[in-house]
Amino acid sequence: METAPNEPEFDPVAAMPAAAFFGFEFRERGAEHARVALAPRPEFFQGQGRVHGGILATLADTAAVWLLLGPLLPERTLTSIEFKLNFVRPALAERGELLAVAKLVRRGRTVALASVDVLQAGELVATGLFTYLVAVVRRQSNLSHASGAQRAPEA
């Protein structure tokens, strides 16, 4: 089924349940950069009133994937190989929105890399490098059919 010319393309990153759960705002994406925002919520804080590092890592990873995945679809996908995120200063509720800015480092045939800065109130909170394996999307096949086995009728 084709989409109408004015109908937006399906975006699997923005549509993933985790994006809705965290409340990510997918702001801007170009060939070499992407911006994803997140408003801090009380459930994101660790014991000292700071945004938990895992939340910052998830925001940064999501921005990197959103940048890198688009041109690969529908034939290829990404899976994480590794990432390193350095925390520079605490993210605090009173400083407001967090903004992850992903920049293309390399989008190769088998490996893709993006650098990501997480900012709050214009100040660097975290910075990192994210590496992904570029893989061919494998379509599900009916293995029993391929092997010649017959399926039993359902009762």
Q: What is the pLDDT of residue 141?
A: 61
**Letter string b/e over residues 102-133, b meaning 16 or more CB atoms within 10 A of that residue's CB:** bebeebeeeebbbebbbbbeeeebbbbbbbbe
Domain assignment present for residue 155? The answer is no
Domain assignment present for residue 31? The answer is yes
Domain assignment present for residue 87? The answer is yes
Please, are residues 135 and 77 in contact by the beta-carbon 8 Å criterion? yes
Domain assignment present for residue 153? The answer is no
In this structure, what CATH number is given to the domain that contains residue 43? 3.10.129.10
Q: Which pLDDT band holds residue 10 (cuts at 50, 70, 90)?
A: confident
Q: What is the pLDDT of residue 143?
A: 53
In whole angstroms, give the CA distance from residue 89 to residue 98: 12
Full domain range(s) for residue 25: 12-136
Please, are residues 149 and 124 in contact by the beta-carbon 8 Å criterion? no
Instruction: Quote the number of domains for the chain.
Output: 1
